[in-house]
Amino acid sequence: MNQFEEQKSSTVRIAVVLIVSVFSTGIVGFHFIEGYGFTDSLYMTVLSVSTVGFEVVRPLSPQGKLFVSFLIIFSLGSFAFVGSSVVRFFIDGEFVKKLKKNRVSKRIEKLTDHVIICGYGRNGEQAALELTDHNHPFVIIERRENAISRIQEDPNLLFVQGDATNEEVLRTAGIDHARALIATTPNDADNMFVVLTARSMNPGLTIISRASEIGSDTKLRRAGATNVIMPERMGGQRMARLVTQPDVVEFVEYILLQRNRDVSIHEVHCRNMAASNFGRTIGELKMGSETGTTIIGLKNGEGKYVFNPGSDYILSSLDQLFVLGSPLQVRNLNKFLEGKM
Q: Of 1.25.40.10, 3.40.50.980, 2.40.30.260, 1.10.287.70, which CATH number belongs to 3-91?
A: 1.10.287.70
Superfamily of domain 260-337: Regulator of K+ conductance, C-terminal domain (3.30.70.1450)
Cβ-proximal residues to 254 (8 Å cutoff; 6+ apart), any chain: none
Compute the Cα dihedral for 255, 259, 262, 265 and give only its sign.
Answer: positive
Task: Name the segment(s) of the chain with CATH classification 1.10.287.70.
Answer: 3-91
User: Which pLDDT score is estimated for 4?
Assistant: 52
Its pTM stands at 0.60
pLDDT in tens, the chain (341 residues): 455 556 666 777 787 888 888 888 888 888 888 888 888 888 888 888 877 766 677 778 888 888 888 888 888 888 888 777 777 666 655 555 666 667 778 888 888 999 999 999 989 999 999 898 888 999 999 999 899 889 988 888 899 999 999 999 999 999 999 999 999 998 899 999 999 999 999 999 999 999 988 888 899 999 999 999 988 788 888 888 888 888 887 887 777 766 556 777 888 898 888 888 888 888 888 888 888 888 989 998 888 999 989 889 998 889 999 998 888 888 888 888 888 76
User: Which pLDDT score is estimated for 127?
Assistant: 92
Do 309 and 295 form a contact (C-beta atoms < 8 A)?
A: yes
Q: How far apart (Å, rounded) are the C-alpha atoms in residues 222 and 152? A: 35
Q: Any idea which fold 112-234 has?
A: Rossmann fold (3.40.50)
Q: How far apart (Å, rounded) are the C-alpha atoms in residues 276 and 308? A: 24
What phi and psi, each to the nearest 5 degrees, are found at residue 137? -65, 145
Task: Name the segment(s) of the chain with CATH classification 3.40.50.720.
Answer: 112-234
Distances from the Cα of 229 to the Cα of 123, 151, 240, 303, 309, angstroms: 11, 24, 18, 20, 27
Task: Name the segment(s) of the chain with CATH classification 3.30.70.1450.
Answer: 260-337
Q: What's the angle, vertex CA 262, arms to CA 128 and CA 241, rounded to 5?
A: 70
